[in-house]
Chains A and B, each alone.
Chain A
Amino acid sequence: MEKSQIWVFMEQRGGVLHEAGLELLGKARELAEVSDSTVAAVLLGAAVAPLAGRIIHHGADLVLVAEHPALEPYRLLPYTDVLARACREHRPAVLLLGATRMGVELAPRLAARLKTGLSAHCIDLKWDANGNLLHLVPGWGGGVVATIRCPEHRPQMATVMPGVMQKTESAGRPGRVVTLTVGEDLDVSGPKVQEIYREGHQTRTLETAEVVVAGGWGMGGPEGWKLLEELAAWLGGAVGATRPPVDAGWALDEQMIGQSGKTIRPRLYIGVGISGMSHHVVGMDGSELVVAINSDPKAPIFEVADIGIVGDFREILPPLLEELRRRLGEKPE
């Protein structure tokens, strides 16, 4: 009998792979080892085959490549068409996608076409005793975790929050590239892309930073925010935010951590002026060490913190910056 296949959708925009896909390969590898399955990455675009080497390096046994001019840039209906046909032909047991802007739009449409189940924004995946995949899904702002399964339909589909799974690497591992044929009858309907604007890449993105300094409404304004940025710079970290500072314009949309923002798992998280609503906590509670600084001793953030400091950040942060300056000497860039 042929081995069952775990598929991972490899998101790319402009030839750049999204980290979420590479992270999912790590999880797929782990699921495959205990179930004797094959890990196949699915890659769509116009000329994307050169990316296959990196995908194999991160854990794929097979890279299924569909190339066609209408698959660049990403458009929902052509992508759905190619993936649905490939699933019907190859019958993967599992299909995983990153819960990115693209994945969140594409996965449900594909699941509806395949009449299969899809779980959203999973935080973990594991097998049950019957070989069905268990999807751990946060709800209600992360205060509740549901275990979802899809026993009677295939593929078992899930989107997974970027930053939750960990990449694996193995130099020189074998892997094969298989071409998925794209027919003349590819569905090219749907909205037309007029323009794509990309902002410059941030030097240190939240998802990969070892240290994240995050601020909430309690920062009071842009002046307080500068202290956070200075602290992050000394610690070589990134600055994150809860929703209110983003709404107030002190922080950018992509700095938001939590249910409707990013999931992070840094080695050190320092939350300043953050009350600790579950919307935010769901995005940061994978952090190794959680430090909370808040003037309200009853703030819920202290319940999810390893180290709590009750006090006004205006009094706490300047001596901390001074202490770091004393220990580290040189001012950071």
Chain B
Amino acid sequence: MEKIVVCLKPVPDPRAWDRLAMDPVTKTLIREGIPSVINPLDKQALEAALEIKDACGAEVVLLAMAPVSTQPVLREALAMGADRAVLLSDHWFAGSDTLATSRILAAAIERLAPFDLICCGNFTLDGSTAQVPSQVAELLGIPNIMHVGAMEFQPAKPLLVTQKIEHGLVKLEAETPVLLSFTKEANKPRYSSFLEILAAESREIAVWTNADLHLGAGLIGLGGSPTQMADLLIRRKTRQGLRIEGSPEEIARQLADRISQLGIL
């Protein structure tokens, strides 16, 4: 195992999502003032890569498609122990759906070839489509496994991968190159020391634009995305909003009455 690419996505910090608003004219989300963090499951992907690096010395390369302003998020991942980072940033990439995004990531990974393993988080917090891992693998023409709950690495042997399914597990044996997307259970991401964080401050992050990837305008951005957003709304649901008050016994009686009215008792 010589090179591992870890795909990372800086996502708006979920603790600030209640500040999320929509521009009523452009129907786009206003994200200003919401800080970015590493998508949580991407840390599991990075930890998996770093454990292999610890065992056999593989090079770990971070790859993210995001605005240049998200560099601090990549430095945080560099501090965990990655060797270098590539940030894909270009206004041509804006508006890409999952397929167009996957084309951009796959083109960048091909530029990093040869590689043995690609590690991703199973889904991201913001879009939550969970579509990019399978699509990147398809475009690279390599196999992939989602929902990875555990991975065992032994030098010169296939990876042993445990995939979580509904009410069970599937144990798989995977030759490299392969793309794996990790769940929360896969491992416990390491913390970085103060010195590592400090050292990462001065590390260089390569920024690649479409001039480096040479993708046609019909393949990326809004124009290269087969899906289009027709509408967006911030959801409010109307509920009765009644309160039941009184002594616990009184509450119990009233609630049991309401449940009875549903015909359930």
The residues in A between 185 and 206 inclusive whose CB is less than 8 angstroms from any CB of B are 189-202
On whether A148 and B227 interact (CB within 8 A), knowing A101-B147, A306-B239, the answer reads yes
Question: Is A248 close to B, CB under 8 A?
Answer: no
On whether A146 and B232 interact (CB within 8 A), knowing A109-B137, A117-B97, A198-B167, the answer reads yes
The answer to whether A320 touches B165, judged by C-beta atoms less than 8 angstroms apart, is no
**Cβ contacts under 8 Å, A289 to chain B:** 258, 262
**Cβ contacts under 8 Å, B188 to chain A:** none
On whether A195 and B226 interact (CB within 8 A), knowing A145-B233, A319-B251, the answer reads no
Question: Is B230 close to A, CB under 8 A?
Answer: yes
| Min distance, Cβ A25 to any Cβ of chain B, angstroms | 19
The answer to whether A322 touches B252, judged by C-beta atoms less than 8 angstroms apart, is yes
On whether A316 and B138 interact (CB within 8 A), knowing A104-B146, A119-B227, A196-B170, the answer reads no
- Inter-chain CA distance A166–B259, complex, in Å, is 23
Which of these, A73, A104, A112, A236, contacts B139 with CB under 8 Å? A112
Question: Is B187 close to A, CB under 8 A?
Answer: no
- Inter-chain CA distance A115–B103, complex, in Å, is 11
**Cβ contacts under 8 Å, A196 to chain B:** 168-171
Q: Which residue of chain A has its CB nearest to the CB of B243?
A: A308
The answer to whether A150 touches B17, judged by C-beta atoms less than 8 angstroms apart, is no
| Min distance, Cβ B94 to any Cβ of chain A, angstroms | 16
Question: Is B44 close to A, CB under 8 A?
Answer: no
**Cβ contacts under 8 Å, B126 to chain A:** 139-140
The answer to whether A328 touches B265, judged by C-beta atoms less than 8 angstroms apart, is yes
On whether A141 and B17 interact (CB within 8 A), knowing A101-B165, A112-B138, the answer reads yes
| Min distance, Cβ B52 to any Cβ of chain A, angstroms | 17
- Inter-chain CA distance A149–B17, complex, in Å, is 26
On whether A147 and B165 interact (CB within 8 A), knowing A112-B138, A139-B128, A268-B262, the answer reads no
- Inter-chain CA distance A236–B263, complex, in Å, is 12
**Cβ contacts under 8 Å, B160 to chain A:** 194
Which of these, B171, B234, B262, contacts A143 with CB under 8 Å? B234
Question: Is A102 close to B, CB under 8 A?
Answer: yes
**Cβ contacts under 8 Å, B244 to chain A:** 307-309
Question: Is B199 close to A, CB under 8 A?
Answer: no
The residues in A between 294 and 308 inclusive whose CB is less than 8 angstroms from any CB of B are 302-308
The answer to whether A191 touches B235, judged by C-beta atoms less than 8 angstroms apart, is no
Which of these, B167, B234, B265, contacts A324 with CB under 8 Å? B265
Which of these, A100, A148, A189, A316, contacts B248 with CB under 8 Å? A316
Question: Is A121 close to B, CB under 8 A?
Answer: yes
- Inter-chain CA distance A145–B166, complex, in Å, is 26
Q: How many residues of A contact B (CB 8 A)?
A: 93
Query: Interface range on chain B: under 10, 10 to 19, 20 to 34, or 35 or more?
Result: 35 or more
**Cβ contacts under 8 Å, B256 to chain A:** 320, 323-324, 327
What are the interface flags for B184-220 relative to A under an 8 Å C-beta threshold, 1 for contact and 0 otherwise?
0000000000000000000000000000000000000
**Cβ contacts under 8 Å, A134 to chain B:** 230
Which of these, B22, B169, B172, B249, contacts A192 with CB under 8 Å? B172
What are the interface flags for B109-138 relative to A under an 8 Å C-beta threshold, 1 for contact and 0 otherwise?
000000000000001011111111111011
- Inter-chain CA distance A254–B126, complex, in Å, is 22
**Cβ contacts under 8 Å, B170 to chain A:** 73, 193, 195-197
On whether A101 and B164 interact (CB within 8 A), knowing A315-B248, A328-B265, the answer reads yes
| Min distance, Cβ B170 to any Cβ of chain A, angstroms | 5
| Min distance, Cβ A88 to any Cβ of chain B, angstroms | 15
**Cβ contacts under 8 Å, A235 to chain B:** 259, 264-265
The answer to whether A76 touches B144, judged by C-beta atoms less than 8 angstroms apart, is yes
The answer to whether A140 touches B17, judged by C-beta atoms less than 8 angstroms apart, is yes
Question: Is B143 close to A, CB under 8 A?
Answer: yes
The answer to whether A305 touches B229, judged by C-beta atoms less than 8 angstroms apart, is no
Which of these, B130, B172, B240, contacts A104 with CB under 8 Å? B130
Question: Is B23 close to A, CB under 8 A?
Answer: no
- Inter-chain CA distance A73–B166, complex, in Å, is 15
**Cβ contacts under 8 Å, B129 to chain A:** 108, 119-121
On whether A267 and B99 interact (CB within 8 A), knowing A120-B131, A145-B232, A193-B172, the answer reads no
Smallest CB-CB A-B distances: 4 pairs: A117-B226, A117-B227, A120-B129, A108-B131
- List 12 other contacts, CB 8 Å, given A144-B22, A260-B123, A323-B256: A105-B147, A108-B134, A112-B139, A119-B129, A139-B128, A144-B235, A145-B235, A190-B174, A194-B173, A198-B168, A235-B265, A303-B241
Can you list 11 A-B pairs, Cβ within 8 angstroms, ordered by A? A120-B130, A140-B126, A141-B17, A144-B233, A153-B226, A194-B171, A196-B171, A198-B168, A210-B264, A267-B264, A327-B256
